[in-house]
A and B are shown apart, each in its own frame.
Chain A
Amino acid sequence: GDSVTQMEGPVTLSEEAFLTINCTYTATGYPSLFWYVQYPGEGLQLLLKATKADDKGSNKGFEATYRKETTSFHLEKGSVQVSDSAVYFCALAGAQKLVFGQGTRLTINP
């Protein structure tokens, strides 16, 4: 069945560091891919998405490119801020449901 694998956390970085959170998937066909973020005390919210191969999703300085050759959708940001501290979930759109990775907790220190 469909599945998503994320790099294990927690990840701790200093402010202004470069961020990469790896995500790979297994699926039939070419599903839409998503990154959701959960800030402390808040619900899950969509960060960015890509609907087909080679699409790049971007939002709030974060980017991820849909790579069908490597079945990957890695999340990147060039310069992280303390306010980016949160849990990040990679997900794919399966048949009538989202399939999530296990989440990566990110902490940014000033």
Chain B
Amino acid sequence: GAGVSQSPRYKVAKRGQDVALRCDPISGHVSLFWYQQALGQGPEFLTYFQNEAQLDKSGLPSDRFFAERPEGSVSTLKIQRTQQEDSAVYLCASSRREGSYNEQFFGPGTRLTVL
């Protein structure tokens, strides 16, 4: 596709369930980022991939959060044993080159609601 796509667009989970959020970046983009956006706030960094290598995971809030990009294209963000505070919009972005200095193209996000 022409842009970054994410699925599902909306996810409702019961507290304690595991969820998996998918990101399809723009084809050929080297860098992939995940951000978490709470209601009324700006996006906050979670993790960064350069191709298949996860170079920075300093923003992941706990060890319940796990991300992967095994073939350097599609990425999955997994949250285990979801908690209410995990409710947020999860944004994926990709960039043509490595690093954060180039334009990042954002997907529409996945809105996660944990009941």
Contact = CB atoms under 8 A, between A and B. Distances in A.
A95 B104 CA distance: 14
A24 interface: no
Interface residues of A, number: 23
A24 B55 CA distance: 28
Contacts, number: 61
Interface stretch (A37-45, A68-76, A77-85): A37-45
A36 B104 CA distance: 10
Contacts of B35: 98, 100
Interface residues of A, dominant DSSP: strand
B93 to A, nearest CB: 8
Interface residues of B, dominant DSSP: loop
B17 to A, nearest CB: 26
Contacts of A103: 40-42
A32 interface: yes
State which size class the interface on B falls in: 20 to 34
A23 to B, nearest CB: 11
24 contacts: A43-B109, A44-B43, A44-B91, A44-B93, A46-B103, A91-B42, A93-B100, A93-B101, A94-B100, A95-B56, A95-B100, A96-B99, A96-B100, A97-B45, A97-B56, A97-B100, A98-B45, A98-B93, A98-B100, A98-B104, A100-B42, A100-B43, A103-B40, A103-B41
**Shortest 7 CB-CB contacts between residues of A and residues of B:** A100-B42, A97-B45, A44-B106, A93-B100, A43-B108, A43-B106, A96-B56
Interface of B: 3-4, 33, 35, 40-45, 48, 55-56, 59, 91, 93, 99-101, 103-109
Given A94-B45, A95-B56, A96-B56, 8 more contacts: A43-B3, A44-B91, A44-B93, A45-B106, A91-B42, A98-B100, A100-B43, A103-B41
